[in-house]
Structure 1
Amino acid sequence: MTLEKEIRKLARLHCANFNAATETECLYYDKPCRYFNEKGRCSYFETAVLPSDEALQTRYWNAITGDAQPVYCAYCGEPYERKSNAQKYCRKCAPRVEREMRRLRDREYRQRKRRNQEEISRF
C-alpha cells in the first residue's frame, strides 16, 4: 500500500475529527479533510493520530523532509527514527536482540570455562 493510502486509512479509522457521515469532512477545520481532497498537512493528525503507528510516522516525516534514505531495523525490517549513528534496531526489537546476543555470549563463555576446567583436570 502506498504512503498516501496508509495515511488516509489511518485518518479514516483513528482520527477523532473525521466525519464518518460525509466520509470526507474534518470536524476540526470545518472543511474537507486534507488527506482526502488535497495534499496538505493537518497539525491535529500529525500530533495526535500519526504517533500511534511508528513505522508510518517515520515514512511520513521522511517523505515530508525529503530524506532520501529511511533507516530500517536490521531485525524486523521496519523503518524507524534513528537516535544515534550506531543504532541498528528499532526500539521494539532492541531488547529481544540484546537478550539473544547475551545468551550467545554466556553460552560461549560457559563452553570456554568448561574446556579450561577439563584441561586443568588432566594434569
Structure 2
Amino acid sequence: MNQRKINTIRTKLGRLARNQCANYKSSGACDLQRCGLCTVEIKTDSMSGNICPYFMRNVLPADPALTREYLEYLPADHPLQNKSNKAGKCKRCGHRFERKSNRQLYCAGCAVENEKENSRRRNRDYRDRQRKRMTI
C-alpha cells in the first residue's frame, strides 16, 4: 500500500471526525470507544482497524468521495467491502471495477486485451487445422 495515500486518507478521516462526529471531543476522546480515544486518531500500520462503527455508519457517508477512497484500501474480505453483484475484481489485473453483468470477469481495458488474445488463439488454431487438411 502507498503509505502517503494512507496518511492522506487518515488525515481526511480525522478532519471529518473532528468536524462532524457527535461523539468526538476536542481532546481526541470518544464516548463510544473503550479506550476513550477516537479510533480515527490512533495511528496504526493498517487502516482496516482504524474506524469506529458509529463513524462508518453515520458520519462517513456524508463524504462519498472519501468513503470510496477509504473502502478502496480495505482488504477484499473486509465486512465493509461492497458485496453486491455490481462490484467486481478483474481476473487479469486485480483492480476493482463495476460490473455491467454478473458474468463479467474483466475490467474494460483487460477485456479488450483478453479478446485480442482469444482471437489470436482462435485464428492460430484455425490455421493449424487448415494446414493439417492440406497435408492429408
| TM-score, normalization by structure 2 | 0.46
| TM-score, normalization by structure 1 | 0.50
Larger helix proportion of the pair = 1
